[in-house]
Amino acid sequence: MIDLKALRENPRHYKDGASRKGMAVEIDRLLQLDEQKRAAQTRREQLRAEQTRLEKDLGPQLGKLQGDLKKATDAAERAQLQQRIEQLRAAPASLKGQAAELEAVEKRLEPEIAAILLTIPLPPDPDVPVGSSAEQNVERERWDPPGFDASVPFAEQRGFAPRGHAELCRRLGLVDFPRGVKLSGARSYVLTGRGMLLHQAILRYALDTMVHGHGFAAMSAPVLVREEAMVGTGFFPAGREQAYHIPESARGGGSDLFLTGTGEVGLMGLHADEILDEADLPLRYVTVSTCFRREAGAAGKDTAGLYRVHVFDKVEQVVICRADQAESRAWHARMIGYVQGLLRSLGLPHRLLQCCTGDLGVKNADMIDVECWMPGRAVEGAPASGYGETHSASRLYDYQCRRLNTRYRPGGDAGKGPTSFCHSLNNTVAASPRLMIPILEMHQQADGTVRVPEPLRPYMGGIETIG
């Protein structure tokens, strides 16, 4: 969520940001509603102050008059007293009535203001290239393992035509697609035997790297969350269609629940409505969680194999740091570096893509995607077609923490001084089975077997080859 005060002061900045992201947004309408609401609020508060002042000296008077009324016996005197009481009561009552009307105005405006505010995107940073779609993303860096060149056809270098991962999985008995579909429909799969072991090895290796190599705290994160967590992390309302919805309220339960599409939701939700101690920052969390995605709107896309599935597991890293732009940027680079190190250790060619403004979501100021080379995806004559997205690193400034109401100050909750919203960042460490694709395809051998990358072997009982 953006800062409404900042929007009031500089609407241009946010209009420009939205247009660079290619998002239509009702900023003028929002400002107009906000103006109306504040006018009503100011007036209402003045009336209320007046009412309280009146009541302060009216109370004793009323008490006295009511006492007199009780004692009075003469009918005329009683009537007169009665009338004075009515009079005294009339003034504050009228103020109260007016205030109530204004309050009704505010209450009518508030939901619309809040709804529009949630849709206003964080403006992209000035150094993010302007573009309208993923086509205009800019390649920033490329890495190939020694002795391999992803821009040269696989067959030329290795002496045999690569098999796609789906075929490798079937031939090696790593995945049972038909039974997955029988159980759960399209985009479902069953990892079997060494397929399951490879999947777990990837996850555990990635988790261990982050924890023991980079000092991140390992956490579990709920994957079934309330709507506030989805709104707070910025996935709702825009991405509502992507999430599985459990309508518990319709069954008499307290609140509806949603299955999360990434561990980021659980990790970031952890500190919603908290005031953190500045001394504890940055918080560095890593989780491994099952991710659920409806893939609405992706019908017909990547239907075969393990690339686009409804359920997968992901190791996700999240950093919550002080509200400092330079620090945010430094963490972004570092978090990407961790992934580069991981992919190198697995011998996977990959590249970094600077996402253009049109490819950013509402919540990020900047996003770098990492794509791994998947020989099976490469189309003849177009080497870049072989890259498939495996990671995405977002820099969000305070957009997410403002929505989540995650703040910090020296001394934390019990501390003194003004609070600030934290900055947050997130990046994939490893998503599997998608990451199995480049691993299987890159490390396949002429005989149809697959060499297990060395770092994964300890997690697979020491085996060197799947075959």
Q: Does 381 bind RNA (CB under 7 A)?
A: no
Which residues in 1-20 contact RNA (CB under 7 A)?
Answer: 4-5
Kindly tell me which of 56 and 301 has the beta carbon lying closer to RNA: 56
Task: Tell me if residue 434 is catalytic.
Answer: yes
Q: Does 22 bind RNA (CB under 7 A)?
A: no
How crowded is residue 139: how many other Cβ atoms within 10 Å of its Cβ? Answer: 12
**Rounded to the nearest whole angstrom, what is the least distance from the CB of residue 103 to RNA in the complex?**
9
Binding-site string for RNA from residue 286 to residue 325, where x marks contact by CB under 7 A and - marks none: ----------------------------------------
Classify strands 423-432 and 387-395 as parallel, antiparallel or unpaired: antiparallel
**Rounded to the nearest whole angstrom, what is the least distance from the CB of residue 106 to RNA in the complex?**
10
Q: Does 414 bind RNA (CB under 7 A)?
A: yes
Kindly tell me which of 45 and 280 has the beta carbon lying closer to RNA: 45
Which residues in 94-133 contact RNA (CB under 7 A)?
Answer: 96
Q: Does 36 bind RNA (CB under 7 A)?
A: no
Kindly tell me which of 337 and 411 has the beta carbon lying closer to RNA: 411
Nearest to 306 by CA among 426, 195, 155: 195
DSSP states of 213-265: IT-PEEE---SEEEHHHHHHTT-TTTTGGGS-EE-GGGGT-SS-EEE-SSHHH
392, 394, 424, 432: which is the annotated catalytic residue?
392
Q: Does 45 bind RNA (CB under 7 A)?
A: yes
What are the residues whose beta carbons fall under 8 Å from the beta carbon of 349, sequence distance 6 or more? Answer: 142, 143, 144, 145, 148, 150, 372, 373, 438, 442
Q: Would you call 436 helix, strand, or coil by DSSP?
A: helix
Q: Does 55 bind RNA (CB under 7 A)?
A: yes
DSSP H stretches of helix in 374-452: 399-404, 436-442
The answer to whether 422 and 402 have CB atoms below 8 angstroms apart is no
CA pair distance 317, 429, nearest whole angstrom? 6
Task: Tell me if residue 12 is catalytic.
Answer: no
The single residue among 58, 118, 246, 323 that binds RNA, judged by CB under 7 A, is 58
Give ∠ CA 91-94-96 in degrees, rounded to 5: 110
Tokens of 91: 């003034």
**Near RNA by CB under 7 A, which window of 92-100, 110-118, 164-172, 392-400?**
92-100
CA pair distance 428, 410, nearest whole angstrom? 30
Q: Does 411 bind RNA (CB under 7 A)?
A: yes
Task: Tell me if residue 308 is catalytic.
Answer: yes
**Rounded to the nearest whole angstrom, what is the least distance from the CB of residue 378 to RNA in the complex?**
44
**Rounded to the nearest whole angstrom, what is the least distance from the CB of residue 11 to RNA in the complex?**
15
DSSP states of 139-190: EEEEE--TT--TTS-HHHHHSSPPPPHHHHHHHHT-EEHHHHHHHH-TT--E
**Near RNA by CB under 7 A, which window of 51-59, 135-143, 356-364, 390-398?**
51-59
Task: Tell me if residue 194 is catalytic.
Answer: no
26, 55, 167, 389: which is the annotated catalytic residue?
389
CA pair distance 22, 131, nearest whole angstrom? 9
44, 284, 293, 402: which is the annotated catalytic residue?
293
The single residue among 6, 16, 83, 93 that binds RNA, judged by CB under 7 A, is 93
**Rounded to the nearest whole angstrom, what is the least distance from the CB of residue 117 to RNA in the complex?**
12
How crowded is residue 38: how many other Cβ atoms within 10 Å of its Cβ? Answer: 13
Task: Tell me if residue 389 is catalytic.
Answer: yes
Place of tokens 């697979």: 460
**Rounded to the nearest whole angstrom, what is the least distance from the CB of residue 130 to RNA in the complex?**
30
The single residue among 381, 418, 461, 462 that binds RNA, judged by CB under 7 A, is 418
Place of tokens 């940073």: 125
Kindly tell me which of 46 and 465 has the beta carbon lying closer to RNA: 46
Q: Does 64 bind RNA (CB under 7 A)?
A: no
Which residues in 221-280 contact RNA (CB under 7 A)?
Answer: 254-255
DSSP H stretches of helix in 72-131: 75-119
Residue 277: which H helix or E strand, with range? strand 274-277
Kindly tell me which of 40 and 393 has the beta carbon lying closer to RNA: 40
The single residue among 6, 16, 32, 52 that binds RNA, judged by CB under 7 A, is 52
Q: Would you call 282 helix, strand, or coil by DSSP?
A: coil
Tokens of 458: 């300890």
**Rounded to the nearest whole angstrom, what is the least distance from the CB of residue 327 to RNA in the complex?**
17
The answer to whether 276 and 407 have CB atoms below 8 angstroms apart is yes
The single residue among 10, 32, 46, 325 that binds RNA, judged by CB under 7 A, is 46
**Near RNA by CB under 7 A, which window of 118-126, 181-189, 215-223, 414-422?**
414-422
Kindly tell me which of 34 and 316 has the beta carbon lying closer to RNA: 34
Nearest to 345 by CA among 445, 163, 209, 198: 209
Instruction: Write out the residues near RNA by the rule CB under 7 A.
Output: 4-5, 38, 41-42, 45-46, 48-49, 52, 55, 58-59, 62-63, 89, 92-93, 96, 254-255, 411, 413-419
Q: Which residues are part of the catalytic machinery? A: 293, 308, 389, 392, 434
